[in-house]
Structure 1
Amino acid sequence: MWRHIASNGVTFLLVALFLLGGLILWGKSQYENPGPLSQAICVQVERGANMRKVSQNLEEQGAVSSAPIFRIGAEYEEKSGQLKAGSFLVQPEQSMREIVDVLTKGGASTCGTEVVYRIGVNRISVQVRELDPSSNRFVERAEFSPGEEDVPEAYEETKEKADTRFRIALAEGVTSWQVVQGLNGVDLLEGEIEEVPAEGLLAPDSYEVRPGDKRAALLAQMQEAQAAQLAAAWEARSPELPVETPEELLVLASIVEKETGVAEEREQVASVFVNRLNQGMRLQTDPTVIYGLTKGEGVLGRGLRRSELRKETPWNTYVIEGLPPTPIANPGRASLMAAAQPAETDFVFFVADGTGGHAFAETLDEHNRNVARWRQIEAERGAEAAGNASTGGN
């Protein structure tokens, strides 16, 4: 009898172990295999949230098939206590293991709402936008110009959220004065900037910031980034380039930056100025004249007068020979590389072509024909604008 009981007990134990092993393997496959999510979602993890609450949220949104298995897997990998506060993008069919990694690896939020302070050439604006997980595109909720427009409620509400991301975005071609004005106006940051950095030394880019960050520290980060980009461009420069120092390359790049907003044209525009330097021609570029008038402090807001084209300033390239003494803006990486590696052309002239780009020419006759076409386009546009005004735009 006891032998029979013992035999049954061993059998039961073996069956139990077999079932337990099968259950573990099934749970492991559930944890590691692609998940049930069919469309990306944004998962918010609040400060102080625990793995139980987060796993239940994930199960309710259809991101995981089992909240308990999600918690057991996270516990087994010793990540239960590593949850990070923020909003995180969970992609379709991500496994539970991958989702645990997303929620515990730290760093900036990957979705949710962000506030972008844009320091542009013509205006400074604040944009509140939110990532739509289904399209992976940002949807604008509000935009305004500080000091010029009323602050929208969406901005005040968003700014107070713990998981909101904040970025400072510098446009290519902004001046150092514009950057300082913009940073001093960002209410998120601390510490006033009193001295404007030398022109050209700040890298146009997007910078992640947090409430309470120091403006001076951010400015130093921009300078470090530009120094690295300039060093890389100088290292990669063409051997025949008619500039002798990285500083001269920076000046040339700033002119390229201000002369065209068409990315595909940068190398051609750079080639025009390089060819002129090589031939001893004056650069004769309007943006340098404008800088001589404004010193980068704001936008001229009108066309240049003939008297201003003849006015002697250190930056008036209609008057001076060679490059001006300083950059006229902060060039981006692409313009630095275009100045360092210009296209190989014989172009020495260019003029607007009416499409937003330019018509390039090797000879004065060809350039004069391009100028005549541009004057005709200007005249036609002026007549059309006058006609629209007289008919109320109908």
Structure 2
Amino acid sequence: MKRLALLAAGLVLAALIALYFLWWGAGPKPGPHTIIVKEGASVASVARDLEKEGAIPGSTRTYRVMARLFGSHDPIQAGEFEIPKGMGGASILDLLQHGQPLQRLITVTEGMPAIVVAEKLAANKYLAGSLPEIVEGSLLPDSYSYQRGETRGAVVARMQAAMNRTIAELWPKRTPDCPVATPEQAVTMASIVEKETGKASERPMIAGVYCNRLRIGMKLDADPTVIYPVTKGKPLGRRILKSELNADNGYNTYKRPGLPVGPIANPGKASIAAVLHPAKTKALYFVADGTGGHVFADTLAEHNANVAKWYALRRQRGQM
């Protein structure tokens, strides 16, 4: 009996040693792969998924035993995790408990129109569900994280909630220097500012010019508002046609004074802030200066002189 007891103890010890080395050894999976862990998942449920993937040594039951004997008892995190090639059972459990879930991002750049955002969301193979209608100007440009399998509608809702929070933060702090009567008008004006300059430092000045024009009933004459009905905010890729400049479609600010009927892009926080806190200026005009920025003028005579310089520069560059 004593010999049998010793033999049994030896077998148990040998089994524990074998499990220990199996637990800490390299994993059987030949390449990196991902696993999605749902909220509230247990070691047992995750182990079943890992076994199906061939990512853990032994069976689900064996892995559960090893985890109970040698692993931490901390909860498993929800999210998507990338398991590197050859990662063993111990390291996999530690990754799921304490590692960083895989972060997937979709970026809406400042001035990106709704049609382009919709195309990005529709083409994303990791998102699910149908694409809801996206109202122009309703999304805040930023980088948004999402989980694999999340619905497109949920991502759009987060983008819209971010814009709503931004407006709620900025609108009460506005100055009276720009005659926009509602947050919606501020977003519309900001979308024009966004499309008119690529220089962040110019936004308050561009906003100041348009606010001055709006105040005195002068037409905004903003090229991006002519382009929007033609391309829905995508680049035009050619010069604006005379027929497009004469089109009366609710957006064309060459045709009528005041703001267009709605935004022409999704403006960023800085452009919205520029409209609500425009530069204090008497300028009513601006034209490109050849460096990516603009030169501003208070009078039409000054503006015409600046335009002549710009045309001369373009002819010198072979652009006219």
Same fold by TM-score, threshold 0.5 exceeded? Answer: yes
Name 1:190's counterpart in structure 2.
128
Indicate whether 1:171 and 2:101 are aligned. Answer: no
* 2:174 is the alignment partner of 1:181: no
Deviations 1:165-184 (A, max 9, x none): 31101111111122111101
Give the AA of the match of 1:209.
Y
Displacement after TM superposition at 1:103 (Å): 9.9
1:274-303 deviation per Cα after TM superposition (whole angstroms, max 9, x unaligned): 01011211100000011122334x432211
Normalized per residue, which structure has more strand? Answer: 1
Match of 1:216 in 2: 153
Q: Which residue of structure 2 aligns with residue 320 of structure 1?
A: 256
Letter in 2 for 1:327: P
Kindly provide the CA deviation profile for residues 316-347 of structure 1, in whole angstroms up to 9, marking residues without a partner as x.
10111200110011001111101111111111
Residue 20 of structure 1: aligned partner: none
Is 2:248 the counterpart of 1:332?
A: no
Matching residue's letter, 1:359 = V
**One-letter amino acid of the counterpart of residue 199, structure 2:** V
> Structure 1 residue 377: deviation in Å?
1.4
Q: Residue 178 of structure 2 contacts residue 212 of structure 2 at CA under 8 Å; is this kept in 1?
A: no
Structure 1 equivalent of residue 230 of structure 2: 293
Q: d(CA) in 2 for partners of 1:247 and 1:176? A: 16
**Equivalent position SS for 1:269:** helix
> Whole-Å Cα distance in 1 between the matches of residues 105 and 293 of structure 2?
30
Given that 1:168 and 1:206 are in contact with CA atoms closer than 8 Å, whether structure 2 keeps it comes out as: yes
Distance between the aligned counterparts of 2:105 and 2:312, measured in 1?
43
Distance (whole Å) between structure 1 residues aligned to residue 193 and residue 173 of structure 2? 17
The two structures have a TM-score, normalised by structure 1, of 0.57
Post-superposition Cα deviations, 1:215-250, rounded to whole Å, max 9, x if no partner, equal: 000011111111111222211211232011111111
Give 1:196 shift.
2.4
8 Å contact 1:176–1:196 — kept in the other structure? no
Can you give the 5+ residue segments of structure 2 that lack an aligned partner in the other structure? 1-34, 38-42, 44-69, 83-94
**Equivalent position of 1:252 in the other structure:** 189
Provide Cα deviations, 1:349-377, integer angstroms capped at 9, x if missing partner: 00000000111111111111111111111
1:142-168 CA-partner distances (Å, limit 9, x unpaired): xxxxxxxxxxxxxxxxxxxxxx43110
> In structure 2, the residue corresponding to 1:223 is in which secondary structure?
helix
Alignment of 1:52-67 (within 5 A): none
* In 1: Cα distance, 2:149 partner to 2:158 partner: 16
**Helix, strand or coil for the counterpart of 1:350?**
strand
Task: Give matches, 1:28-43, under 5 Å.
Answer: none
What's the % identity of the aligned pairs? Answer: 45
Q: SS where residue 279 of structure 2 aligns?
A: coil
Deviations 1:13-65 (A, max 9, x none): xxxxxxxxxxxxxxxxxxxxxxxxxxxxxxxxx998xxxxxxxxxxxxxxxxx
Structure 1, residues 246-280: CA drift from partner, whole Å, max 9, x if none?
11111111111111110000000000000101121
Instruction: Report the secondary structure of 2:74's partner residue.
Output: helix
Aligned-pair Cα RMSD in Å: 3.0
Aligned equivalent of 1:22: none
Q: Structure 1: where are the runs of 5+ without partners? A: 1-45, 49-74, 88-101, 110-163, 386-394
> 2-side partners of 1:300 and 1:241: how far apart?
29
